[in-house]
Structure 1
Amino acid sequence: MVVKAENIFVNLPVKDVKKSVQFFQAIGFNFNEQFSDEQTACLVLGENLFAMIMMEERFKGFTKKEIPNTETSAQAIVAIGVNSKEMVDDIVDKAMVNGAFVYNETQDLGFMYGRSFQDLDKHLWEVVYMDPSNIEQ
């Protein structure tokens, strides 16, 4: 049997849900209000792709582990694929204008173009465009 997920929900702890919502809306993302409340916001990344932005206290209700200090540690990198280099630049440029932090240098490998940032809570995000016509067989 091959497992194939119907949805993905990445859960991220944040210090201030309202500020995180404003940040991601300024970049151009939407939220699903049906799965959002005062402590949680459902960030829509794509069809059936979501990031649950949760106040740290709410997040702690889902795990017995400590929340890592994102100033010094990384537990995951959220990488999203988009349909053009221009969209990569638009998203990351908007993120930077709205308080994001530099993460890595731009990568341009010909077939793949990507940029990175850290959000307000220093979670790592990569925005990538892959041009299938330039991938060597």
Structure 2
Amino acid sequence: MNSASKVIYLNVPVVSASASSAFYSAVGFTQNHTFSDATSACMTISPTFNVMLLEHGKFELFAPKSKTIADGKSSAQMLICISMDSRDEVDAMVENAEKAGGKKDTSPSQDRGMMYSRNFEDLDGHVWEVMWMDPNFAPHEAPDAKSED
């Protein structure tokens, strides 16, 4: 299977697709209107990664019937990390998140020289870690996958 053809769509429950899409646009994501409607918004981070902002009723259509939607403001189900090309880009994204109504630096930032990270919470309390890593410290390419025949 060609790994270049894989695209990730992270489904995230939100109270308001329109408010959340405005927030993520301010953070720097781009809305893909082809996969957006009145109750959902597809926000593109990169050519292979998208965030689907689904209002609760739409999110419930995809979620297992036995599970409730976690309240991101009172619980953490997952932490999402996005890498940036520079420390300045990390700072800019976190500052833009705060300006758009999010909360910045909800846990301590980390500066380890070769790696720098900060975080923000979106309007629904979902936590995003924004990080930069020195490209000379670790390779960005995944190791070759070994196929089993």
2:102 counterpart (93, 100, 103): 100
TM-score using structure 2 length: 0.84
Count of residues paired in the alignment? 134
CA–CA separation in structure 2 for the residues paired with 1:111 and 1:54: 36
2:89 counterpart (87, 91, 114): 87
Asked if 2 retains the 8 angstrom alpha-carbon contact of 1:110 and 1:134, the reply is no
1:113 counterpart (111, 116, 141): 116
Q: Secondary structure of 2:136's partner?
A: helix
Name stretches of at least 5 consecutive residues in structure 1 with no aligned partner: none
- Sequence identity (%): 36
CA drift of 1:132 comes to 2.2
What amino acid sits opposite 2:118 in the alignment?
R
CA–CA separation in structure 2 for the residues paired with 1:114 and 1:26: 19
CA–CA separation in structure 1 for the residues paired with 2:29 and 2:73: 24
Residue in structure 2 matched with residue 22 of structure 1 by the alignment:
22
Q: CA RMSD in A?
A: 1.6
1:1-137 → structure 2 map (5 Å cutoff): 4=3, 6-63=6-63, 64=65, 65-102=67-104, 103-134=106-137
Asked if 1 retains the 8 angstrom alpha-carbon contact of 2:73 and 2:126, the reply is no
What amino acid sits opposite 1:58 in the alignment?
K
CA drift of 1:3 comes to 9.1
CA–CA separation in structure 1 for the residues paired with 2:90 and 2:73: 24
Name stretches of at least 5 consecutive residues in structure 2 with no aligned partner: 139-149
CA–CA separation in structure 2 for the residues paired with 1:134 and 1:44: 27
Deviation string 1:17-63 (CA, Å, 9 cap, x unpaired) is: 11111111112211111111111100101111001000011000111
The list of structure 1 runs, each at least 4 consecutive aligned residues, that deviate by more than 4 angstroms after superposition, is 2-5
TM-score using structure 1 length: 0.91
CA–CA separation in structure 2 for the residues paired with 1:50 and 1:80: 12
Moved more, 97-106 or 40-49: 97-106
CA–CA separation in structure 1 for the residues paired with 2:70 and 2:2: 29
CA–CA separation in structure 2 for the residues paired with 1:3 and 1:48: 13
CA–CA separation in structure 2 for the residues paired with 1:40 and 1:107: 33
What amino acid sits opposite 1:81 in the alignment?
S
Pick the structure with greater CA Rg.
2
